[in-house]
Structure 1
Amino acid sequence: MPAIPRVDLEAHPGMAVALRLKLSNRMMAAVLLRPTVDEWVASDGQILPSAPRIEPDYVYLLQGAEVRQTITVRVPLHLKGGSRLTSALRFPGVSEEAVPITLTVLEETGDTPLPALECPLSVSLPLGDEGPKAGGGDFGASAQASYSLVAGLAGLDMLPARWLVAELLVAVCQAGAARGESPEGKQLLERLGRTRFFKNGVVAFASAQAPRWVLSGLAATSGLNAALGGQVGQGQLLHIWERWLLGLADTDVEGGDAPAPDMRMADAQLHAFAGTLGTQADRWFANLLLGLWTLSPRIALVLEQIAARAPEPPPTEPEVPRPPPDDVLGERGPLGR
């Protein structure tokens, strides 16, 4: 079992201490990390603020990957030389263990500004416990699938909800756009477009700037994935769950000696599809309705009832034949006669 690292520091009062973390993932699932730092506890029991600044706030760590993160804490002022402070670096939702931090305060140096103290720190997760390893047999495959699901659900506790909601909305709209190519989808949308319900929805989407909100949420997940060297087509949080689902076939949870099938899924390309909609509220709302009509029988029934009450389009007036234009020259026949 790997030992839990510890941090022993010596710094002057008021100094900034930068912990340069190198995080590695020994678990069998990707994880979203948001570390925390406890407040300083003095030897006399006094609680002092550590004022941690974490850059970046979140890091997404793939299985077997490494990523870097910087945590800066501040040494409290007006402490006597020789004072001893303790704290801890924690990874909520990932490990119950913590990295202990011990700080010995040095004598003050007057008003001379001091540079930040940098401390490299390598952390392998989970702390103090060997990560489950993929192994043969029923237990190894089942344990890997279960552990991946538990780790993924724990990561959702720290995940900004708007990222996942944005991807789900785009996925529903993408399903609606595909159904909208069918004769039934075109007919339903044509009838819904004549209702007050549809017009109110478009106005609400435009007023709330819902398309921009969705696009900014997609940009956040894409930027996070690109910063970690991921592929463009895999810049979605939903891709993580797709990989877990296909991983059930690769690991063969039911056991058996037959080779695992080669299961692959085309990239969802949520970004490319959202780009085709742009910021047009009517297109977003129309595709969302068609997507819900496709995925939810309960909502489909309500939408069909609304469409059935749509007013009929005004009758098309027959085109009245126009009389021939007047002879402005007042003559008949060619001009050169």
Structure 2
Amino acid sequence: MRWMQLASPHTLHSLTTAQVMRQVMLACLPGIAALSFFFGPGVLINILLACLSCVASEALVLYWRQRSWRCLHDGSALLTGLLLGICLPATAPWWIPISGGFFAILCAKQLFGGLGQNPFNPAMAAYALLLISFPLPMSQWPLPLTLDSIEGWRSVAQLDGWTGATALDAWRNKGLLMADEFWASGQLLPEMLHAWAWIAGAWCLGGGYLLWRRLIPWQTPVAFFATIFLAGALVWGWDTSHQAPPWLHFAAGSVVFAGFFILTDPVSGATSLRGKVYFAMGVGLLVISIRTWGSYPDGVAFSVLLMNAAAPALDYFTRPRTYGQRKAARTMGHREPKE
């Protein structure tokens, strides 16, 4: 009977790891196109160097461990390099994506046993290391290109001449200026907000594709975005003169990208459905806390890594009830169902 074919635990459609990785990389294309249009070819160069570094690191470890190189076909190393390259400023020196790729694979992934064993998101671990080690080149994004300044594409060597702070950096460094004075001062160019708003829309397009293909749970991005908005609105309502409005957290940072492509990592995040929601809420609260009281203007990478460490505890306390038992077991041993 058909209902028996659809009943759990049977699955009618299954994707391999390589197929999932390819679908996620495909979903990244709209955001990569938007980043490249507004910030120039440096984005593509960072992605290329990070991907080559990650794949080379994976191949090196497989050679050391005398493992088959077929493991490279799963695409996990390539996706790690892609996500890391997306996060890097377009003006970053060539050695930053290369060193970040080696750290992501060697230290954040293979050191713990390889694919499926890493407790931390490799791309975010590498990005956090680069941000702490090289704060100046990691905080300078180029001013967004427009159709009138498309000549910036002609020379990658001249990118350093038109770098500037991001919207969150400008807000963080506004000093004692009140919100109205900051907006009137012109420190934050409208072109910057316009560019990041279009980029956020492109990430929404890619995230919608992942949701449509049911590759990620919708609860994770929804819980994350709702937490960011509510917590940001609460902080902003507490002090509208000095705190960032809620919309700025979405239009000027990596919130949308992280919600669809970082928090949905099935390895380093929580596994249960309630755990995924709590994980996303925790990341959102940490992001707002770091942006409000911390020394870093963004804080997404650090928030994700902190919640990665808390993921095992979330899985323990949100473990679903096993069929045949009245409540979820809290021990690792076998537990007989009650009569």
Q: What's the TM-score once normalised by structure 1's chain length? A: 0.23
Structure with the higher strand share, 1 or 2: 1
Could you say which structure has the larger radius of gyration? 1
